[in-house]
Chains A and B, each alone.
Chain A
């Protein structure tokens, strides 16, 4: 009904962002691609892979030049069996929302089909692989997006990734008196029913192989 963002608008915005990012960060180790979701409307989004040392510069540029104004989630992942250059990964999910220069005392009604250029909502996924050692450190972006503050706290609390320069870091979901170095989402912590799949695949316990052994369905 002309009310939602269309696939064409979405692709235009994605291409524009890709060009802008490549124009600024090409050759610095920051890799940008356009990816497509396979759910819902199969929309495009921007995936950026950056080494941690470029992250703050990239973040500032995204926020102030590209208009990425919304930090929605931070995900840390532990890959104990991963290669040397990727033992941990931090994924930031950002959105660009058209809410800028909001005039006070008015209401802004965006009509999706009239949105052009940088006011088209866009989704960004920023992946930061970290070296496989016991000290994963990534620079903070707390001062750039206020919304990243508590997300980073949570990521440190649960996954144990340190955010260099983060002010007022403390436990949020775990108890305040949790032992130092205890981060439950690291993979060395197992929960009950882990490795349950042997039982699940072979409930009778006859030791037979599943029919699809070695094949990913």
Chain B
């Protein structure tokens, strides 16, 4: 049969955003693929060259609306490296809790979007219901529902409100039971297993060579995680262990492994926040006023020329990195150059090549299992 190129996207239910997957098919089999990105390129890196270090945080929130808190944190660690800021320990704990709550919300969004890809439409409503709990918690911290603008260079914007700890513990404990419900619903669902098992194999070494990171690599049987390999927050004082999944085949991890590892990550995130809220310095029921030195230390506003800042951060989809050069406009008030490394920018071309050899109907399962987000890809 003649081979032909088909264009999936930019407007396609599978694409989870605006991008194009060009697929060369032979009958129903994929024989070649090509990814086209850049439909929502906003030029964040250029915009940041004309903003000061506090003004950049909201732009980093908007890199990915599903995991705004982790992206803002990632930027803040790079800015702190550049400006040599000190951070109080309570602020580090609050950031950790905020980031892990965001990870829960993000993985729930992923699961909710992945279900309809596979044919399980009910899952979307279940996940949105639970995600709302965590968005409410994050709203208490940041004041808005999705883009929080919460961390600051040298601390956080506000302390946790009174009663936040109790509400959070109740919700997280409820959610821990809900994870079991999800597993009951999915792990023995025939549709789920048939569509995911044996599809989209990728092995760990290949993925590392191609620059893939995060849960996608951990699904392939390696517990590599930035949170212990390049520790940045107070993860070394918290009780948790990196999630890892034993791949079901010698060929590496399939879509089912990637689903399993994200469920396990949600469990670990629950465990982390429950532990962190008990260990938080200053007490979980106290509320320090804005700018108190328990949650914020003043940091320099300007960075000299030649100074650089770098952060390596475990975002919800893999390692996100920022590289900032000081000495920009306003006598160093803005960065001279700010560069963003998005885990998905490198993963999407890799995943496109992973699909070769599978059927066209497997494309949504393979793509969805890698958790694509186009906002952060195109920046």
Q: Of B236, B321, B333, which is within 8 A of A1 by CB? A: B236
Interface size classification for chain A: 35 or more
| Contact, CB under 8 Å: B228 / A73 | no
Contacts of B169 in A (CB 8 A): none
Q: Does A211 contact B (CB under 8 A)?
A: no
| Contact, CB under 8 Å: B241 / A3 | yes
| Contact, CB under 8 Å: B329 / A43 | no
Contacts of A95 in B (CB 8 A): 312
- Spell out A's residues near B (CB within 8 Å): 1, 3-5, 37-41, 43, 45, 69-73, 75, 77, 91, 93, 95, 97-102, 104-110, 112, 121, 123, 125, 145-151, 154, 158, 171-175, 184-185, 189, 191, 193-197, 200-201, 216-217
Give the total of B residues in contact with A, Cβ under 8 Å.
80
Q: Of B80, B230, B301, which is within 8 A of A121 by CB? A: B230
Q: Given A39-B81, A108-B221: A147 and B300 within 8 A (CB)?
A: no
Q: Given A72-B321, A93-B321, A121-B229: A147 and B330 within 8 A (CB)?
A: no
Task: Looking at the assembled complex, report how far the CB atom of B311 sits from the nearest CB atom of chain A, in whole angstroms.
Answer: 7
Choose the segment among B110-118, B179-187, B249-257, B287-295 that binds chain A (4+ C-beta atoms closer than 8 Å).
Answer: B249-257
Interface residues of B in 207-255 (CB under 8 A from A): 208-211, 213, 217, 220-224, 227-233, 235-241, 244-247, 249-252
Task: Looking at the assembled complex, report how far the CB atom of B34 sits from the nearest CB atom of chain A, in whole angstroms.
Answer: 10
| Nearest CB in chain B to that of A198: its residue | B330
| Contact, CB under 8 Å: A91 / B221 | no
| Contact, CB under 8 Å: A104 / B252 | yes
The 5 closest A-B pairs by CB, nearest first: A147-B211, A197-B330, A73-B341, A104-B250, A40-B232
| Nearest CB in chain A to that of B323: its residue | A75
| Contact, CB under 8 Å: B310 / A174 | no
Selected A-B contacts with CB under 8 Å, 12 pairs: A41-B232, A93-B323, A93-B341, A99-B208, A105-B246, A106-B221, A107-B221, A109-B244, A123-B312, A150-B345, A185-B45, A191-B49
